[in-house]
Structure 1
């Protein structure tokens, strides 16, 4: 198993208006343009993305405009809608049970921002930032926690990259039931699994451009949905094996930090970058790595940095 060293940052950005967000927003103008679809680089595509955002996430329009005004390159506002960006795919395993949300985020370490953000756009939210102001996972002050995994099917349609959808759910919803109802109406561009937890309910749902929202049999998810997984895909991702393992383990941080749930295929973009353990009733989250842990409250984050080793020691059986 390859080992990497990565630095994670915890930052407080408030409503994004004082410049702190812009310092951690992500890519340069050149790479930002690379994120946009061909249509998104046109006036028509930009207008369509804006209309989609205003239709489905009207509460966040002031925040979008406030943030876009801090990015000095063309199409910044279009980019931040996340309704005209190229798809990206990750691994991940997650479980909601007993009022807690536990997940492994699997990706290429050098392409993960590694920024834990505490914000107050519409309400206090903490989570791991991705795609400028979207979230890979997070929690709000009402006690709702959410997390995503790629759904494993390579189809695409009109809609949003799911990190902005998670941001929207946490900004506007207090409970799992509210969030699921809202998620039914928001178009998502590629298949995704979303696990939602509050102190009283947990659920995983499958969403995508070609299916209605489907509730999974339980509140666990890896990288497939309701359809059979081809043998080749299982060999490369072990998605069914990981799902079976997390179901058996339950909410167990130690199990997440060892194979098969902890993955080491970093060169294939399938290595575990962090483990997140959200406890909505406590209003706290702990991020874990082998031998390291970093806890934060949903309100009152203390900014800082933590450099950690990714991967397991040589000789560890990845299976």
Structure 2
């Protein structure tokens, strides 16, 4: 399978973002309605919950809703409140060297992915990262040198809360340190279980194990795959090899003195790199974040795409995914 990626920069919400929304909205609407319109939260409820949990985001949310055409369904979708459930299989870890470097693999269905890197200056803060839902992020970094990434937490429970990509966006828009990020991750409700790893320019880090049915657990884990303290969804754990991937990373970090490049290269081969696209999802990309340099890279086997927050260059890449039909 060939994926077409784009990197787009727009300091304030405007015609570029509106064009992206018009392009992606038909597919997102189909996904959002798959369980029926009545199952999704109302606009009033969605707005009320945003005001309660992420009040700083309301002016930006209103701007985006207007650019999206002002429709009821678009506004409810953009709130990310109680969206349809979705699963992924990912690995993320901090390089054990002196410099803060966050590395992650994102495993997902390539047909249900934005394939988009966004660089924005919204709310007076520069942010760049991998888009989900056109303003949410599955990983990213801000101009304070704070980097963040998510993995699915490996639990079936679905509750009332926000889709985690918007929570990541909220952290990057409002936080400058890992401590501040931990406070946000502890209080904002999520609709499914996720592990969120954060690192700042001073290499202070945490992994928040978030869930809709219990309090967020803040840990000092430098590795996260697709389970939390214990494996609860056994069939999913076996299918995604979450325990094996975690052990592999911990082994590399404790028993080897990998250079930064060697550590990153581990993510581009098994057991971390997956080509199980025939079963629903495989590794779509490897992302590397270097908070002190305000730089990120997106990698695929044989291809590297470097990007800088301060000198971001728009562009595109066509990538062939190994093992994807």
- TM-score, length of structure 2 as denominator length: 0.89
Q: Tell me what 1:21 maps to.
A: 17
Q: 1:193 to 1:30 in 2, by over 3 A?
A: closer
Q: 1:37 to 1:159 in 2, by over 3 A?
A: farther
Aligned to 1:105, the other structure's residue is in SS state strand
Deviation, structure 1 residue 219: 1.6
- Tell me the distance in 1 between the aligned counterparts of 2:51 and 2:235: 40
Report whether the alignment pairs 1:48 with 2:45.
yes
Report whether the alignment pairs 1:8 with 2:5.
yes
Measured against aligned partners, the alpha-carbon deviations of 1:127-148 in whole angstroms (never above 9, x if no partner) come to: 0000121000000000100000
- Aligned ranges for residues 51-70 of structure 1 at < 5 Å? 51-70=48-67
Aligned to 2:251, the other structure's residue is in SS state helix
Measured against aligned partners, the alpha-carbon deviations of 1:255-304 in whole angstroms (never above 9, x if no partner) come to: 00000000011122330000000000111001100000001111221111
- Tell me the distance in 2 between the aligned counterparts of 1:229 and 1:183: 22
Relative to its length, the structure with more strand (as a share) is 1
- Tell me the distance in 1 between the aligned counterparts of 2:192 and 2:276: 23
Corresponding residue to 1:134 among 133, 136, 139: 136
Report whether the alignment pairs 1:116 with 2:117.
yes
- Tell me the distance in 1 between the aligned counterparts of 2:135 and 2:231: 33
Corresponding residue to 1:240 among 240, 243, 253: 243
Report whether the alignment pairs 1:205 with 2:208.
yes
Unaligned 5+ runs, structure 1: 314-319
Range that drifts further, 201-210 or 248-257? 248-257
Relative to its length, the structure with more helix (as a share) is 2
- Tell me the distance in 1 between the aligned counterparts of 2:36 and 2:51: 18
Q: Tell me what 1:265 maps to.
A: 276
Aligned to 2:266, the other structure's residue is in SS state helix
Unaligned 5+ runs, structure 2: 254-259
Partners of 1:204 and 1:221 within 8 A in 2 = yes
Deviation, structure 1 residue 95: 0.6
Corresponding residue to 2:29 among 21, 29, 32: 32
Deviation, structure 1 residue 183: 1.2
Deviation, structure 1 residue 43: 10
- Count of residue pairs brought into register by the alignment: 310
Range that drifts further, 261-270 or 119-128? 261-270
Partners of 1:272 and 1:311 within 8 A in 2 = no
RMSD: 2.2
Deviation, structure 1 residue 48: 1.0
Q: Tell me what 2:257 maps to.
A: none
Aligned to 1:188, the other structure's residue is in SS state coil
Q: Tell me what 1:88 maps to.
A: 86
Aligned to 1:264, the other structure's residue is in SS state coil
Aligned to 1:104, the other structure's residue is in SS state strand
- Tell me the distance in 2 between the aligned counterparts of 1:30 and 1:311: 25
Report whether the alignment pairs 1:255 with 2:262.
no
Partners of 2:145 and 2:201 within 8 A in 1 = yes
Report whether the alignment pairs 1:171 with 2:173.
yes
Aligned to 2:5, the other structure's residue is in SS state strand
Deviation, structure 1 residue 30: 6.6
Partners of 1:40 and 1:78 within 8 A in 2 = no
- TM-score, length of structure 1 as denominator length: 0.91
Deviation, structure 1 residue 29: 4.2
